[in-house]
A = this chain, B = another copy of it.
Amino acid sequence: MPRALLTDAEIDMALAGLAGWQKHTDKPAIDKSFRFKNFVEAFGFMTKVALLAEKLDHHPEWSNVYRTVDITLTTHDSGGVTSLDVTLATQIEALLT
């Protein structure tokens, strides 16, 4: 059974604890843009996120241009934002502290 979608209020509450994350403007997802010192730092971050994602079996939609990494999280099976997205976003933030 697909994981339950979060309500709008639940998403807002989760985002309150996730600095820089916001609701995606075009689809039911959350996203954040990260900027690093250079490509090595940006791709190093991506490598850490990739390991977290594979471990959770929950993978981002993401893009990279030099020192910028844009990450969008959504739960495809559920058709929107679930607790899994909040978990991955929280783990990603923990990488940066």
Chain A residues with a Cβ under 8 A of chain B: 39-40, 43, 46-47, 50, 53-54, 59-66
Contacts and interface: CB of A to CB of B under 8 A. Distances in A.
20 contacts: A39-B50, A39-B53, A39-B54, A39-B59, A40-B54, A43-B47, A43-B50, A43-B54, A46-B46, A47-B47, A59-B65, A59-B66, A60-B64, A61-B63, A61-B64, A61-B65, A62-B63, A62-B64, A63-B63, A63-B64
A95 to B, nearest CB: 16
Number of copies: 2
* Nearest 6 pairs of A and B residues by beta carbon: A63-B63, A43-B50, A61-B65, A59-B66, A39-B59, A62-B64
